Amino acid sequence: MSSTTITPAPTTALSASVTLGWRALLKIKHVPFQLFDVTVFPLMMTLMFTYLFGGALAGSPREYIQFLLPGILVQAIVFITVYTGVGLNTDISKGLFDRFRSLPIWQPAPIVGALLGDVLRYSIAALMVISLGLILGFRPEAGPIGVVLAVALVLVFAFSLSWIWIVVSMIVKTPESVMTSSFLLLFPLTFASNIFVDPATMPGWLRTAVGYNPVTHLTDASRGLMHGGAQLADVVWVVAASAVIVAIFAPLAMHMYRKER
Amino acid sequence: MTLAIETAALVKGFGETRAVNGIDLRIAAGCVYGLLGPNGAGKTTTIRVLATLLRPDSGTAHVLGHDVAREPVEVRRKVSLTGQYASVDEDLTGTENLVLVARLIGMTWSAARVRALELLATFELADAAGRQVRTYSGGMRRRLDIAASLVRTPELLFLDEPTSGLDPRSRNQVWDMVRKIAAEGTTVLLTTQYLDEADRLADRLAVIDHGRVIAEGTSRELKTSVGGRTLNLRVTSIERVAEAEGVLRRVLGPDVRNGTEPQTLAAVVADESAVADALTALTGAGIGIAEFSMGQPSLDEVFFALTGHPAEERTAEEAYA
């Protein structure tokens, strides 16, 4: 030990969260492979769906990508939100959260810090998808500002969804189970939407369900923002849905986080 | 005497099982105190309650004067915990792990870095400072983990099985660290299943079994309470062993047996004042004594005598804690 006696000065909630966000950045720096999941998967989906469905659905991939890209961006980001839960579950099962919880810090900081890192990862993924889209011929009519606004809205929704996986990560035992259980929600959420096809072709009951799916409104808003003609109603829907999800799952997550394991 | 930890009728259960079933502890500030017991005895649960990670179901626990249930933040400000599993981030380097903790407790970036390097040097990790923790050996990880608990000097340090799974050399290193920490005035509460570890490190011990304290005291007191100290002696001439055995029987009682070597004898001593008489009787009979010592029962024997089962026993129903 050293002769230095350190007495702690109280840390603010913000500084603790930022420090734990710095930890997320370091992890990206040391294990760049973890970006592989969040980048390759979205790129793969963009390429696959553009060329698989493009000809059949819109006459050509180039025409289809104008319709698909704002939606595939939504799907890609929504899918990778699960990594928030996977990461937290790993931290919990390795005992790292015990250390954080025994420190005199603002208790939600480890979760908020992780979310800060995740928002960065979502942004990287969004950048990749849009860059690939531009290469493949995507031309957003509303210009860069529209694209940035669309990405921002997608990030808001992704942030809210992350809270669901945070809750799941505290219930299930392994990171793998977080992943598996997430598919039960993510597949219907993204496929039972208007990302790939116009809901007009669907049976009535499904069309109704698709109409209530926040992903549908997010996709509409994303298309509207990128190509012009965004409906305020869609944006409000998405923001409201995000707020409801956070209002339910954030307190639940914090409750479970404080609760013992 | 200032108490660092005081619990009364502390109970903590999980579902049907009471992992901690009425534990009373009074631990003086400044000592190294050991909780000794087999897997599932309730040691870890006790530490987790004291470190505010679990809330007690009933009873009270005061740590450094603060109620763990009512003033958890005050407790967290003064204690550090090194859990059973090395709670360091494997993806980060040794330095980054310590800087992270230092930042979290309110140090500036530069002070955090200085402190991290200082601790890495103390814990003989300076060479590995820039390496990811996943490349560390078990002993290095454990040392880093303990270092992370000492970024600020805690008044009380919890160490949950600090040496489980370590090789003998790493164990010795950790023991040295613990002694240094204690020497600088930090109270240490450690759990262990290793009887020799408790014997060597702890000033006082509580033996825990099935969520209760079944014995408390210094290691010497515990051994004595089991009774049966042994006089071990070696005679100079092998021809006189049988004769010496007779003398010991006469003076000390019937419980005399051959020792580990042909020239040695071991006699159970009920009354220690009789030992001098026995030695006098032997020299009186002209039997040369090469060496003699008073032995104590091992903590294994103590544990067996207290619980009726060996310390290594592990049963499925006990494995939860």
In the prediction, which pLDDT does A236 show?
A: 94
The DSSP line for B48-91 is HHHTTSS--SEEEEEETTEETTT-HHHHHHHEEEE-SS--S-TT
In this predicted structure, the answer to whether residue B228 has a pLDDT above a threshold of 80 is: no
**Which tens digit of pLDDT belongs to each residue from A23-48?**
988 988 898 887 887 788 888 888 88
State the nearest Cα–Cα gap between A160 and chain B, in angstroms.
26
Inform me whether the C-beta atom of residue A31 falls under 8 Å from chain B C-beta atoms: yes
**Which tens digit of pLDDT belongs to each residue from A232-247?**
999 999 999 999 999 9
Q: What single DSSP character describes residue B203? A: S
Instruction: Specify the higher pLDDT residue, B208 or B268.
Output: B208
Q: What single DSSP character describes residue B145? A: H
pTM score, whole prediction: 0.78
3.90.230.10, 3.30.1600.10, 3.40.50.150, 3.40.50.300: CATH of B3-224:
3.40.50.300
B-contacting residues of A 102-141, CB under 8 Å? 102-105, 109
Confidence class for position A261, pLDDT limits 50, 70, 90:
low
Residue type, position B8, single letter: A
- From first CA to last CA, the distance across chain B in angstroms is 32
Average pLDDT over residues B53-62: 92
**Which tens digit of pLDDT belongs to each residue from A127-168?**
999 999 999 989 999 889 999 999 999 999 999 999 999 999
C-alpha span between B267 and B258 (Å, rounded): 9
Bridge partner residues of B213 (DSSP): B208
In the prediction, which pLDDT does A92 show?
A: 87
Q: Between chains, do B104 and A11 touch, taking CB under 8 Å as contact?
A: yes
In the prediction, which pLDDT does A58 show?
A: 78
Average pLDDT over residues B201-222: 89
For chain A, the structural domain boundaries read 13-258
| Strand-pair category, B229-235 with B212-217 | unpaired
Question: What is the value of ipTM here, to two decimals?
Answer: 0.81
What's A39-100 look like in SS3? HHHHHHHHHHHHHHHHHHHHCCHHHHHHHHHHHHHHHHHHHHCHHHHHHHHHHHHCCHHHHH
**Which tens digit of pLDDT belongs to each residue from B279-302?**
999 998 889 888 888 877 766 677
What are the distances in angstroms from CA B42 to CA A3, A19, A158, B20? 35, 34, 42, 5
In the prediction, which pLDDT does B7 show?
A: 93
> With contacts defined as CB-CB under 8 Å, which chain A residues touch B150?
1
For chain B, the structural domain boundaries read 3-224, 228-294
In this structure, CATH architecture of domain B228-294: 2-Layer Sandwich (3.30)
Confidence class for position B261, pLDDT limits 50, 70, 90:
confident
Inform me whether the C-beta atom of residue A26 falls under 8 Å from chain B C-beta atoms: yes
Q: Where are the beta strands (DSSP E) in chain B?
A: 3-14, 17-28, 32-36, 58-63, 66-67, 79-82, 156-160, 187-192, 204-209, 212-217, 229-235, 256-258, 264-269, 289-295
C-alpha span between B291 and B302 (Å, rounded): 26
Confidence class for position B313, pLDDT limits 50, 70, 90:
very low
